[in-house]
């Protein structure tokens, strides 16, 4: 049997995509909408407080296109924390004016494909910063799930560790060439959701998503072994922008 890649896991991740029921929102009276917004702001503040003490992180973005209206991306220490957070939000008045468009459950992951050095990696502050990241508040977000192929001669899992490591090293060089332009967070979802990984990109220039993903298409890891789900792209939402989006 081929050698499996070793992984380090950090915070659990939930991408919670929602659409607004505009008919219901417009039918509500001013008092109902004001109460719903007050609850929404309370939750945004609560999530910000969690981030301040570094017990997790949350990023909120609108979604461009018809797949959803907005997304909450949450990082928390445990699945129980994510479950409690999700259930608490679902009980709010504001949540009653939303429908669930899509969700993705995963965990922040680092693999040993590009590992170097010895010792306990979790004793390294840089490693821990990658396993428990504070989500960037860049202008734009791009999220997509992906798999590695398991098809006849194009079966990633039948390659040797040396071959996979060499391919990932080449693949990683492309990503590193976008350092300072794109922040990438990889979350593993094997056994947790329908795909194997989730890729979340953050940037202050949305065109960098197109350039990065397109360039990676020519790398063998993507061109031969990559399978991709739907892409979601959006704009940063702070409390003020969220309220403006909901204003009638």
Which token pair is 70? 């907005």
Long-range contacts for 31-34 (Cβ within 8 Å, ≥24 apart)?
32/93, 33/246, 33/248
Which token pair is 165? 């490591």
Rounded to 10 degrees, the C-alpha dihedral 151/209/184/167 comes to 40
Q: Is residue 104 annotated as a catalytic residue, yes or no? A: no
Cα separation, 130 vs 85, in Å, equals 22
134 Cβ neighbours under 8 A, 6+ residues apart: 51, 54, 57
Which token pair is 120? 């306990």
Residue 108: Cβ-neighbour burial (10 angstroms; 0-12, 13-18, 19+)? buried
Find, among 60, 83, 85, 63, the residue nearest to 73 by Cα.
60
Rounded to 10 degrees, the C-alpha dihedral 5/10/14/15 comes to -70
Catalytic one among 61, 104, 144, 225? 144
- Residues marked as catalytic: 144
């Amino acid at each position: 049997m081929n050698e499996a890649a070793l992984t380090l896991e950090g915070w659990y991740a939930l991408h919670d995509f929602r659409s607004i029921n505009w008919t219901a929102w417009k039918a509500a009276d001013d008092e109902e909408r004001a109460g719903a917004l007050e609850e929404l702001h309370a939750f945004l503040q609560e999530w910000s407080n969690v981030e301040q003490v570094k017990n997790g992180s949350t990023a909120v973005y609108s979604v461009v296109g018809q797949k959803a209206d907005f997304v909450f991306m949450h990082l928390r220490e445990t699945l129980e924390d994510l479950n409690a957070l999700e259930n608490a939000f679902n009980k709010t008045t504001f949540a009653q004016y939303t429908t669930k468009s899509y969700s993705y459950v995963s965990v922040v992951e680092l693999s040993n494909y590009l590992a170097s050095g010895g010792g306990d990696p979790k004793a390294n502050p840089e490693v821990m910063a990658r396993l428990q990241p504070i989500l960037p508040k860049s202008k734009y977000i791009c999220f997509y799930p992906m798999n590695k192929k398991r098809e006849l001669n194009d079966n990633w899992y039948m390659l040797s560790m040396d071959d996979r490591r060499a391919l990932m090293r080449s693949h990683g060089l492309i990503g590193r060439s976008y350092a300072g332009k794109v922040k990438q967070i990889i979350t593993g979802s094997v056994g947790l959701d329908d795909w194997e990984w989730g890729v979340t990109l953050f940037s202050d220039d949305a065109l960098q998503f197109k350039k990065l993903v397109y360039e990676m298409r020519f790398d063998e890891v993507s061109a031969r072994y990559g399978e991709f789900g739907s892409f979601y792209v959006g704009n940063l939402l702070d409390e003020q922008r969220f309220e403006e989006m909901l204003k009638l």
